[in-house]
Chain A
Amino acid sequence: MENKVINILMVGVGGQGIILASEILADVFMDAGFDVKKSEVHGMAQRGGSVSTHVRFGPKVFSPLIKEGEVDIFMAFEELEALRYIHCLGPQPTILLNEQRLNPPSVSLGVEDYPEKVAVILSQRAAKIKSIPARDLALKAGDVRAVNAVMLGALYNFLSITENTWNDNLLRRFPPKAQKINLEAFQLGRSA
C-alpha cells in the first residue's frame, strides 16, 4: 500500500474520454482500499475545450486539487495540452504521453503554429516517460473512443493494483457491447 498521497494529473481535449477514465480510476482506488478524491471542471462547451482532471489517492486525502509542482503521474492525452501543464510536474514525474495532436481553433485557422518536439521537451522533465500511440491502439481494439482504456492500460504498469480490480471496474463502466473492445484496448495499453 502507498503510505503517501499519489497525485495523478490527466489532461487533454473534451471528447477524449478523460473524465470517464478518471471516474474509473477513482473507483479502482476506492476498491483497492485507498481514500480518493478527483476534481475537474466541466460546463461551457460539450467538446473541443481543454480538459484537466486531478486524481489523488492515499491513506487520507484532503484537497481534491493537486498543488502545482507536485504531480507524480502525468497522463497527457494530447501533445499540446501536455505542455500547458509542465509547471505542475513534481521533481520525479512519470509521464504517459498519447502521441496525438488535435489542432486548437487558432491552429486550424492557420493563425498560430502547433508546437513541435513535445515528447523531447517532456522527456527532459520526466523520471520515466512512455509514449503511447493510443489512438492507433484504440482503433486496433475496434473503436477510436477506447483511447481512454488504452491510457488506463498504460497506467496499470506503474501502479500495484490487481488486474481483477481493474477488470471489475472496466466491466462495470461500459455497456455489454463495448466491454470486449475496452478490455482489449486496456490490454494493448499494458503491452504498449
Chain B
Amino acid sequence: MTEKRVVLSGNEAIARGAYESGVRVAAAYPGTPSTEILETLNTHKGMHVEWSPNEKVALETGMGAAFGGVRALVVMKHVGVNVAADPLFTLSYTGLRGGLVLVTADDPEMHSSQNEQDNRNYAKFAKVPMLEPSDSQEAKDFTAMAFQLSEKFDTPVMLRTTTRVSHSKSIVLTQEPSPPIAPPKLIKDPMKFVMLPANARRRHPVVEKRLEDLHLFAETFDGNRIEWGNNKIGIITSGISYQYAKEAMPEASFLKLGMVFPLPEKLIRSFASRVEKLFVIEELDPFIEEQVKAMGIEATGKTAFPLCGELTPALVAKGLKGFTPPPLEEISKTLPPRPPIMCPGCPHRGIFSILSKLKLFVTGDIGCYTLGFLPPLSAIDTCVCMGASIGHAMGLDKALGEDALGKVVAVIGDSTFLHSGITGLLNVVYNKGAVTLIILDNRTTAMTGRQDHPGTGFTLQGEEAIQVDLVKLVKALGVKHVKVVNPYQLAVTERVIKREIQRPEPSVIIARAPCVLSRRERAVTGKAFFVSTESCTGCRVCLRLGCPAIEWVKEEGMNGGGKKRKGKAFIDRFLCNGCTLCEQICKWGAIKEKNGE
C-alpha cells in the first residue's frame, strides 16, 4: 500500500475516498459547494461519471447502479436534496445491494445559495444514517466508511459537508484503491425493490429495526470519539464547529461526533455525566442540542451560538468564553462594495439592459443571470428555486389576467430549463397561460464553472452526445410561437421581446450565444473598443450596462462638439472583449472599434 501526503479540498478528498472505495457509477447536478467532487472523480478511469439533468435523476441513476450491486456516489448541494427527496425517502425502504452514498453539500451563510437549510434534518426524516467530516482527511475516510455502512446496514448513507469543509484544504494521506467489490449482476428481488403498498408495509418495520441497530452501532463507531481534557467544560460538536471549538478551548473535553444521525445516546450520557458544564456547538439548527435535551440532559447551545449563518472561530470563542471580536473599523464600513458581476461581454447583459429599459416584471431563476438583479440593470423581480421563473409568470398571469399582459416575462438559463423548467412550460401550454419565456441559452451551466448538460453536445467524460434541440423541444410541448435571437443584436432582440410579451398565448424566445468564458465557442471578437474623447458627451447611457470594462472618468469640460460634460466614459482595453453592446446604445457614435485618436 503506497501512501502519499497531499493537500486536498474536502470535495477533492470525497472524490478520492470514492475512488479508493471502488465506486463504479457517480451522478450529480452541479451546485456550489459540491461541484468539484465529480469533476475530480472524473480524472480517474474505470467508472461512469455523469452530469444528470437534475438531482432526482442523479439519485435514481445511482439507485439503479446500487440495485445492480455496484457502489454508487450521488452528489448535490443542499437544495438539490429537495429535488431528490422523492426517491430518497423510498430508497430508505428498499435499501440496495451495492453501497450508495449521497453527498449533501450544505451552504451555511448562503455564500452561493438561496437558503441555508440544515440537511441533517433529512437524515432523521428519511431515517438514514449521516456522517459529517470536519476536515479533508475525514472527508476521505468517512466516504469510505459510508460505503461500508451502506452495505452493512442495507441503507443509503448521507455524507454531509458544509462550504467550509467542501472548499477548505488540508493534508490528506491517500491510499491505493481497494479492488472492486462483487461484480454487478441482475438479481430479481421484487419484494425488496417494488414499493407497492403491500411490499412497502413489510419494509417499514425493517427500516425501524435498522435504525435501532444503527443506534447501537453509533455507540462504538470510530468516527464518534471522546477527547478528554479537563472536567470543567465538555463540548459535544461535529463538522467544522469542532475545529473552531478546539481552537477556542483546547483544554476542554470533547465528544466529537462523526455520525450526526443517529446519535450514540449512551456515549452522550456518559460524557455529559463526567463534565461540569456541557455545551453543544453546531451550525444552523439545534439538531444535536434538541436530541441531547430530549434525553433529559442539561446543555447550552443556541442561547450561546447563533442559529443563522456560518459559525466562525470568533463566534465560537464568544459563545464559549465571552471573547469580543475586534469591531469593524470606521473606514471599512464605508468602502464601496465589490459584488459579483456579469463578466465583460456576457451574453446576458444585452437581454437585461432591454428588460430594464422596458421596466418589465421579470420572474427569474437560478444561474449567473440572477446577477441581473444588481444595479444598474436591476431587472430581476423574483428568484426562489430551479425552474420557478415559469410557474411564477404563470401564476401572475392567472392572478392578474389582462393586467399582466405585456408587463411580465420569465427568464431561465438553458441548464436550469432542462433541470426543471420543462414541466413548468408544459403547464403553461396545457393550462393556457399567456406567458413569455426567455431561455438564456449560453450553452453551458455557467455559474458553477461551465459544466456540460444535455444541450451542449458533450458529456462530463468528454464524449460527444446527442444535443437536445431546444426549438423542437418547446414546440413539442405545444408552444406555437418560438423565436431564436442573438442577444448581442439589441434592436432586433428588443423588437422581438416587445412583440412576444403582447401575445395572449404561450411564447418562447431563445436568446442564443455562448458564455463568454466558453472554451469551445466564441461569439465576441475579443478586440477592445475605444471611447472617443472627442465625441463622448458624458451622457452615461453606456454605464447603464453595468459592464466592468466601462468606467466613468470625472472631468468637467467640453467635448469636441462644444457640448458641456461632467466627465466621460473610458473603456479598459484589458477587460473589453468587443461585445459591441455599448457601441450599439451610444447615441453619439462615441464608441468605436478602432482608436481614431
Contacting residues, chain B, for A67 (C-beta < 8 A): 247, 312-314, 317, 325
CA distance A163 to B108 in the complex (A): 40
A45's contact among B7, B371, B376, by CB below 8 Å, is which? B371
B331's contact among A13, A63, A83, by CB below 8 Å, is which? A83
Q: Are A104 and B337 in contact (CB under 8 A)?
A: yes
Q: How far is the CB of B591 from chain A (nearest CB, A)?
A: 15
Contacting residues, chain B, for A80 (C-beta < 8 A): 335-336, 338
Given contacts A27-B7, A114-B336, A115-B335, contact A38 B168 (CB under 8 A): yes
Q: How far is the CB of A57 from chain B (nearest CB, A)?
A: 10
Q: Are B243 and A64 in contact (CB under 8 A)?
A: yes
Encoded as 1 (CB less than 8 Å from any B CB) or 0, chain A from 48 to 87 comes to 1110000000000111111111000000000011011111
Contacting residues, chain B, for A87 (C-beta < 8 A): 326-329, 332
Taking CB atoms and an 8 Å cut-off, the chain B residues in 145-183 that contact chain A are 163-164, 167-171
B243's contact among A14, A48, A63, by CB below 8 Å, is which? A63
* A44 part of interface (Cβ distance < 8 Å): yes
* A36 part of interface (Cβ distance < 8 Å): yes
* A103 part of interface (Cβ distance < 8 Å): yes
A48's contact among B170, B336, B548, by CB below 8 Å, is which? B548
Q: Are B167 and A41 in contact (CB under 8 A)?
A: yes
B543's contact among A27, A36, A110, by CB below 8 Å, is which? A110
Q: Are B331 and A68 in contact (CB under 8 A)?
A: no
* A43 part of interface (Cβ distance < 8 Å): yes
Q: How far is the CB of A86 from chain B (nearest CB, A)?
A: 5
Encoded as 1 (CB less than 8 Å from any A CB) or 0, chain B from 532 to 568 comes to 0000000010010010101110100000000000010
Encoded as 1 (CB less than 8 Å from any A CB) or 0, chain B from 328 to 346 comes to 1101100111111111000
Contacting residues, chain A, for B368 (C-beta < 8 A): 45
* A23 part of interface (Cβ distance < 8 Å): yes
Q: Are B332 and A86 in contact (CB under 8 A)?
A: yes
- A114, closest chain B residue (CB): B336
B336's contact among A23, A86, A106, by CB below 8 Å, is which? A106
* A40 part of interface (Cβ distance < 8 Å): yes
Interface centre among A47, A81, A105 (most CB of B within 10 A): A105
Given contacts A46-B343, A62-B247, contact A23 B7 (CB under 8 A): yes
Encoded as 1 (CB less than 8 Å from any B CB) or 0, chain A from 89 to 132 comes to 00000000000000111111110111100000100000000000
* A-B residue pairs in contact (CB < 8 Å), sample of 18: A14-B340, A35-B171, A36-B170, A38-B169, A41-B111, A44-B111, A49-B338, A50-B337, A62-B244, A68-B314, A69-B325, A83-B335, A85-B332, A105-B339, A105-B546, A106-B336, A108-B552, A110-B552
> A-side interface residues toward B, CB under 8 Å?
13-14, 23, 26-27, 30, 35-50, 61-69, 80-81, 83-88, 103-110, 112-115, 121, 144
List 7 additional contacts besides A41-B112, A110-B554; criterion CB under 8 Å: A30-B5, A36-B170, A41-B111, A64-B169, A66-B313, A115-B335, A121-B331
